[in-house]
Amino acid sequence: MSRYLQHRVFVVSVVVNVLIVMAGALFPERVAELAEAGLAAVTRLFGWFYMASLFGFIVLLAALAFSRYGKVRLGPQDGRPDYDAFSWISMLLAAGLGVGLVFYGVAEPMRHYLAPPYGEAVPGTAEAARRAIQYSFFNWGVHQWSVFALVGLVIAYFQFRKGRAGLVSSVLSTVAPATPRGRFWAPWLDVFAVVATVMGVATSLGLGVLQVNGGLHAVFGLPESVLWQGVILAVMFVAYMTSTWAGLDKGIRRLSNFNMLLCLVMLVYVLFAGPTLRILETVTLGFGDYLQHFIGMSLRATPYSDGAWARDWTLFYWAWAIAWSPFVGTFVARVSRGRTIREFVLGVLLVPALLACLWVGVFGGAALHLERSADTGLASATEANLNVALFQMIDLLPFSGLLSVVAMLLILVFLVTSADSASYIVAQMTDDGSINPPFYKRAIWGGLIAAICLMLMALGGLSGLQSASVLASLPFAFVLFAMAVALLRVLREDHRSLLSLLYRRHGEVPVGADPIEADLLERERRAARASGKGRVESRK
């Protein structure tokens, strides 16, 4: 019994995941119908809530970055980051956006070109192309990363500054009373985060496998079938199990750096092999429209229309980001130890969003210009099959065969890093928040994620489970607010205690000193006392 209590989150999470997957596999159509109806109702009734919440998160994070708390370090105040800037950003992208960005980088602008956002332009016109890039930037910009940044910042502060476990329940224990009822619900909150993560990762991997299969079909003529999808998944499984065995530094970090280099190579090649001037103009105009209409787009509700476009795109993305946030946020926290709050917010909120917009601008801009200038059929091909949109665009460029192989390698490595980081974080969540969970738990979760993915693709339950996993976003949105409250409360308390230290030692601290300087001074004084004590004892 004591052994079960020690591993109850792990055991219960495995059982719940298996039950949900069995339901999705045995009754795929019914599950898909119920999940999609539920998701439609949630986005229709709470669309305004998602819009206001994410905009509020951005404002909160910006305020923290430039406030007196910006200099606070996520770890010892005299510590340094665990990873250099390139590796840090590479791992953020690998866990947060990789597969989805490659999947939608061409497909989304083309879809918006055919069905402009909010019906603001005539389909297939220059204005439709402009709105397509503007709203693609918006959907892949800072809003998604505000959710990941908030969860990551809270968990990192509590884990590396306060010495708590890297769990959502551990953070919320600071705002909830320590009652038997609160202790009862805490493990279930961790189970909820694990289930949402596993379902989200499994469905995302499924979409990535479908895209690789679509690329193999477009380039080599291989059939789009469950057999080939199983082969792709098997190759990916062997790769990410190898990466999992290698560990965070040798596995995920090296693969993420490699993938970042592949991304940059593809980005530069498409920029110069495609219509370079038009791409540069598209990116410039896209950023201008994005910045000019940022607040309006952020708070755009639809009280006078049905808002179908927003529900299908923007609100789905926001809900997906919230449901995905326990995993991505925890991983972001794990690789951000040693950063200051200002570095963390600016790095997590802005840099991945900037790179995502550049990717969409280059690939989407190239696709739109090729479609408009030569009527290449990209739009109709994308409308018929999203999986081949990227490869149809690549086929119009020089050395398309080689570039398609590079694109498939990029997608495959993104899948590997996503699955590897997910198995690592889920193992951490089911091992009391340990930053070094045992290999057997990482291997079990990695195998379970692959098995779920294969079963859903074989039985047609992928879209239904994707909608079901996104439904988790609504309750977790309230958890995010509680986490924000917990962070603000602890930051204020820590600031007050450091000010008290400053006042007690005011005779030795310059007038312009702030609490962080006081904290560093106290650490130096402790080290000096310890060193002096050691010298005295050695003399004795």
pLDDT digits (tens, 9 = 90+) for 202-220: 777 777 787 778 778 777 7
Backbone angles phi, psi at 436, to 5 degrees: -130, 70
Smallest CA-to-CA distance from 437 within 7, 5, 4, 2 is with 7
Residue 505 lies in a domain: no
pTM of the model: 0.86
Sequence-distant (≥ 6) Cβ neighbours of residue 125 within 8 angstroms: none
pLDDT digits (tens, 9 = 90+) for 353-392: 999 999 999 999 999 999 888 777 788 877 777 777 888 8
Q: 205 is in which domain, residue-wise?
A: 1-171+197-485
Residue 101 lies in a domain: yes
Q: And the tokens for 329?
A: 């946020």
pLDDT of residue 97: 66
For residue 164, the SS3 value is coil
Residue 495 lies in a domain: no
Residue 121 lies in a domain: yes
pLDDT of residue 416: 81
Mean pLDDT, each 10-residue run in order, the chain (540 residues):
55 80 74 79 88 95 92 84 86 73 86 91 92 95 92 91 78 60 64 78 77 77 82 82 71 81 91 93 96 94 83 87 84 89 93 92 93 81 78 87 86 80 82 79 83 74 67 84 90 79 60 62 72 57
pLDDT of residue 248: 65
Residue 414 lies in a domain: yes
Alpha carbon of residue 359 to chain centroid: 16
Q: And the tokens for 109?
A: 């602008």
pLDDT of residue 96: 61
Sequence-distant (≥ 6) Cβ neighbours of residue 516 within 8 angstroms: 71, 72, 77, 498
Domain count of the fold of the chain = 1
What does the alpha-carbon distance between residue 167 and residue 252 come to, in Å, rounded to a whole number?
A: 21
For residue 375, the SS3 value is coil
pLDDT of residue 400: 86
pLDDT of residue 228: 85
pLDDT of residue 436: 79
Given a contact cutoff of 8 angstroms between Cβ atoms, the answer to whether 82 and 335 are in contact is: yes
Ramachandran quadrant class, 377 (left: phi over 0; alpha: psi -120 to 50; beta: rest): left
Residue 519 lies in a domain: no
Residue 154 lies in a domain: yes
Angle between helices 276-292 and 126-139 (to 10 degrees): 60
Residue 522 lies in a domain: no
pLDDT of residue 1: 39
What does the alpha-carbon distance between residue 136 and residue 365 come to, in Å, rounded to a whole number?
A: 11
